[in-house]
Chains A and B, each alone.
Chain A
Amino acid sequence: MKLVSEFRDPQLAAHLIKAMYRTSRRAVSLMEVCGTHTVAISKNGLRQMIPSPISLLSGPGCPVCVTSNRDLDKAIAVARQPGVILATFGDMMRVPGSYSSLSKERAEGCDVRVVYSTMDALRIAEANPHQKVVFYGVGFETTSPTIAASILEAKKRGITNYLVLSVHKLIPPAMKALLDSPELNLHGFICPGHVSVIIGSRPYQFISEQYHLPCVISGFEPLDILQSILMLVQALETGQAAVHIQYRRGVREEGNPVALRTLDQVFEVGDAEWRGLGLIPESGLKIRRKYRSWDAEEFLDLDVPAPRKAPGCLCGDILRGIKNPFDCPLFGGKCTPESPVGPCMVSSEGTCAAYYRYERYRVQDEDRGRRGEVPQLKPAG
């Protein structure tokens, strides 16, 4: 078993789609919260396969996209400090802040390095003892335990020139903020698989208990997502609201206790600013006082100008699920992956990038597409 091709089997996919047609009786809007799900849906062409009354909305689950301009500007200010090496995941490089981006700053001569893991950043810190290595901590519960572990490791190894600029965020509070907003009419959530590997299924209970909506924690392969959609449709048709785990091979109800303990050891919950959603109380992670020696906020005296929003950019509305990339006047014209205006077009997990890359031409005759014939495509939007 390779654990890849089995989850892309076209026959099994056709079975799931047929079951959706049999079950689905009314129009429903389901939100995939996670950016990786958004990409998987676009990349595998799942939107064209499912019955048209089921619409899939993308949520605020791309960590790059929800990072506010203020937090981007702060990272840029850090990179500009003399004696600082800014280490970051590659996705953040090209995201435009209010006035610049990390890749522009690198071209201007700042030392900005792309790493795949926090341990790489620690290695850079060890190799450059006379410089401060600041890791730009962006991400949800999936990523933050590894950042916490890097701080613990730095402490253990006595690495004092390693700092973390934490703009980490938590997913469940953002889902609550969406549910409390009157502008969105949602019928269920496809919950993020990787986040749930860490936090488990319990933190979503409030959605079924207080808002009476079904949630399915889904894996990322096409069959995972199709099965999760079917599970949501079945739950909606039978009037059940519960949290189900489709991604059983990765997620346990209690999550990953080791990762959660590590997270809790280093971080405490604080307020965070989200692009599109604004300030959400208790939706971010701050470094605890005990570990402040590794907190970049403590050490760097930053002069960050007031943030500015790119005119016309709908990223905020798209992240709330109330607009679709095709609604944005900039999409595909002024804003493309080569010359992005907003973060949703830059990030590999961004909704606009996924729509642009895989769906900017859409099926003309949807019925033909659904019957499995080669769809005729037309310019979308």
Chain B
Amino acid sequence: MDRILLAHGNGGKLGYELIKSLFLASFNNPVLAQLDDAARIEIASGHLAISTDCYVVNPPFFPGGDIGKLAICGTVNDLSMRGAKPLYLTVGLIIEEGFPLPDLETITASMATTANEVGVQIVAGDTKVVEKGSADRIFINTAGIGMIPEGINVSGANARPGDKVILSGTIGDHGIAILSCREELAFRTTLESDCAPLNQLVSQILQVCPHLHCLRDPTRGGLATTLNELAIQSQVGMVIEEARIPVREEVQGACEMLGLDPLYLANEGKLVAIVPASETDKVMEAMLTNPWGQNARVIGEVQASPSGMVLLKTEVGSTRILDMLSGELLPRIC
């Protein structure tokens, strides 16, 4: 089997071959084909959204996706959470010497497929190869640029008392899918990661509700952490109803067994939308028609107090604090 060698990343002939045969062929677009030190792109007036994220997921191939798909979806979703239409991405690869070339081809293909699905162009990239043991298989960085349409102002600071909190679907799928394929935890599940690009869902939501207040994807730290971040950023309180949060039976079961809480598990294809109460029905209607929003639910509402804090109405009928994730639940989940 062909493997990645240090020479693939030294800027010489092998690297050039790799760029041409693999990356240029897979990510084929005129901007990337410029092959200059930086991509030159035309911009319209208005606001750009810029975001970057690193992907170190272990293992790089998991049920429902791989590190390539994740690296595209993650950054696309971050741009989308600002209400931006994702346009361009850059891809930086750090590969461990000896990484199988066929695996790199699979990862590249899934990046290309996902980018096509989203409608973004990969316009710049870089590859470094490090000695065996200096990195674990493959790490990816993607940075993205998106265009924020006129009149859209989505921010974590915009939640207002009275707003409704909508969750786009089941939580914890990604976390448990990754956990199930870690070698140190020998258990099996048919569950797949929810890894998905959310730009379409967001654009559908914004079409019916351009004055939407907040969007955020509950990735690392899970739903609980995301809600707390929003409460702190907007200086509001929230009351969430535990019984309304959709959790798959497999996820609930695995959590009961492993002592985990689905509220803190990572998601890669879900979003939280905070919308004015009067627009809730419209947003829900739009979300339910989208494949990535068909399990959407209103899970709670925003209150004036206690500021910066999220309360959970428990299933059994009491109320308690829903705190942020504290400590390391599981490293390298994305």
Contacts and interface: CB of A to CB of B under 8 A. Distances in A.
A284 B264 CA distance: 35
B286 interface: no
Give the size range of A's interface with the partner. Answer: 35 or more
Interface stretch (B58-66, B208-216, B311-319): B311-319
Interface in A305-348: 336-338, 348
A253 B319 CA distance: 35
Contacts of A359: 320-321
Interface stretch (A45-53, A129-137, A160-168, A237-245): A45-53
B327 A94 contact: yes
A44 interface: yes
B319 A369 contact: yes
Nearest to A5: B315
Contacts of A358: 320-321, 323
Contacts of A374: 239, 311, 313, 319
Interface stretch (A7-15, A75-83, A171-179, A203-211): A7-15
Contact of A10 (B259, B316, B320): B316
A145 B103 CA distance: 43
Nearest to B258: A116
Interface string B48-74: 000000000000000000000000000
A178 B287 CA distance: 57
Contact of B316 (A44, A113, A356, A360): A44
A43 B309 CA distance: 16
Interface in B164-192: 184-186
A45 B319 contact: yes
Contacts of B150: none
B315 A361 contact: no
A13 B316 contact: yes
Nearest to A103: B328
A14 B314 CA distance: 13
A5 B185 CA distance: 26
Contacts of B239: 374
Contacts of B21: none
A361 B316 contact: no
A292 interface: no
A350 interface: no
B319 A43 contact: no
B19 to A, nearest CB: 37
A116 B313 CA distance: 31
Contact of A361 (B306, B313, B318): B306
Contact of B320 (A5, A45, A336): A45
A381 interface: no
Interface string A36-70: 00000011111011000000000000000000000
Interface in B295-309: 306, 309
A218 B18 CA distance: 63
A193 interface: no
A276 interface: no
B321 A10 contact: no
A357 B256 CA distance: 19
Contacts of B326: 336-338, 357
A258 interface: no
Interface string B225-262: 00000000000000100000000010010001011000
Contacts of A338: 326-327
A377 interface: yes
A1 interface: no
Contact of A42 (B256, B258, B320, B327): B320
B252 A4 contact: yes
A10 B252 contact: no
Contact of A45 (B249, B258, B316): B316
Which of B184, B249, B316 is the most central at the interface, judged by chain A CB atoms within 10 Å of its CB?
Answer: B316
A2 interface: yes
A97 interface: no
A10 B319 contact: no
**Residue from A44, A120, A360, A374 having most chain B Cβ neighbours under 10 A:** A44
Given A116-B184, A120-B184, A337-B326, A49 B256 contact: no
B305 to A, nearest CB: 9
Given A2-B249, A116-B258, A120-B186, A48 B319 contact: yes
Contacts of A10: 315-317
Interface of A: 2, 4-5, 8-10, 13-14, 42-46, 48-49, 94, 113-116, 120, 222-223, 336-338, 348, 356-361, 363, 369, 372, 374-375, 377
The 7 closest A-B pairs by CB, nearest first: A45-B318, A10-B317, A222-B316, A337-B326, A8-B315, A45-B320, A358-B320
